[in-house]
Structure formats: C-alpha cells, structure tokens
Amino acid sequence: MRGGEFQPFETAISFIERFKQSESITALTRTILEAASTFGYRNFSIIAGPQLARTDFEERIMLMHWPDDWLRQYVHENFQDHDPVVRHARSQAHSFFWTQAPYEPEHTKRSRVMDCAARDYNMPQGLCVPIYGMHGYEGSVNFGGPDIDSSMSARAAMELMAMYAVNSLSRLRAADKEAAAVLSIREKEVLTWAAVGKTAWDTGRILQISTDTVNKHIASAMRKLDSFSKTQAVAESLRRGEIEI
C-alpha cells in the first residue's frame, strides 16, 4: 500500500504538466493558484532578485496574485527593506517557512508591523522558495495563506512546483517578447546588409541614408531583439526568420 507521502508528489507532478501546457500567463496564473490552494495557500508572488532589475520592488514583480490593498501597503511602507523573508531567501538554497526567517535587530519593529499587516490580508503563514540559476540567486517564489499544509512532503511538493512555475513563466514571457519584437522594414534592411559584412557606411551608401541613421536602426533592432551587439542581433533575426541571406 502506498503511503500518504506520495500524494503531494503526485499532485505536484500533475500540476507541473499543466504548467508546461499553459499557453498564456493568465492560464499559468490560474493553474499556480489552483496548485497552491491544494496545500492551503491563497496567494503567491514571483519576484526577481534586485540584481536582475531595478531595485524598485514593483519593477521586480514577474507574476503576482496578492490582495491589491496589501500590495499598495507593502510598497507604500517600503516593507521590502524590512522583510525578513526577503533577506533570508538570499542566503538559502532550499525552501523555508516564513516563520523560519530570523528578524534582524535593526528591522525587528518594522518587521513585526509587516507581519501584523499580512495577517490582516489573510496571509499569516507562508512558504518561500529561493530560485537559483547560472548567476546565483535570481529571485524567489512566495506562497501565503491562512491554513497551510506544513508537512515536509507538502513543502517538497510546493518547492518542486515553484521551480517549474518559474520555468513556465520564463518560457511564456520570452514568447510574448519575441512576438512583440517585430522589426521595421528599414531595420531588416540594415541587418541584412550587416549579415553579409557591410559596414554602417557601406549600408548608408547602398540605402542612400546617413551612417548615423543606419546606426540608429541597428540600435533599435538590438533593443527589440534583446541583443547586446550587432552580431548578436543579426544572429537572432536570422533565427527568427526576420531576415534572409
């Protein structure tokens, strides 16, 4: 007979498959909420680490389902700078419950105010899953709720689902970004000539535009393609079929 510890794992695997099949961020959000509710959680957030984006908390939100009033209060009162969970996540390799994050003396008063506020929004308990990648700490996934399953098997299942939820979110965000990165006719022209080895001056002569204008079109294409160099932009536009040589 199978033990009860297998049920959370099997539940996680089932939801992970649904994460992978999600065709939109909205659908993924619904599935994450359904998965989290299985273990007593009602809200979640996926927040990028400060090294990946601006330090402004709102700019680092990748995906979130929080009460609107709680988000406004969290931002307005700058709770991120006093949140023991945020600090603890940066030094942890595995998931931990919010109650396991230690208070720091200089932040204790504000941290306790934040904890009381969280309870007002029906999030007295929670789980944090730090996310690591090739460059170290990349962010965290947090789940909150009033009556969570704190068993080790449930915690392991939540940690596994969190990692796959982030992977699925990254996939969908990349797809949205790629769909939005449509090059203009002129941008395609300058990249096509760059692909065959023409300099900006050469391309300007061919297209009868200034070298400065060529460089502006290249820079615009690089931004759209999220590229750090002209060579990378050419390679990416070829991969997407935006240009041909």
Residue 3 above 50 pLDDT?
Answer: no
Q: Give the whole-angstrom CA distance, residue 57 versus residue 50.
A: 8
Beta strands 61-65 and 125-133 are unpaired
Range(s) of the chain covered by CATH 3.30.450.80:
6-179
Q: Say what the pTM is.
A: 0.72
Backbone phi, then psi, for 5, in 5-degree steps?
A: -65, -15
For residues 113 and 73, is the Cβ–Cβ distance under 8 A? no
Q: Which CATH number fits domain 182-240: 1.10.1520.10, 3.40.462.20, 1.10.10.10, 3.40.50.300?
A: 1.10.10.10
Tokens of 192: 């096509």
Give the pLDDT confidence of 127-169 residue by residue, as tens digits: 999 999 877 898 999 999 999 999 999 999 999 999 999 999 9
- Residue 215's contacts (CB-CB under 8 Å, 6 or more residues apart) are 200
Query: Which residue is listed with tokens 């992970």?
Result: 16
Arch. (CATH architecture) of 6-179 = 2-Layer Sandwich (3.30)
pLDDT band at 51 (very low <50, low <70, confident <90, very high): low
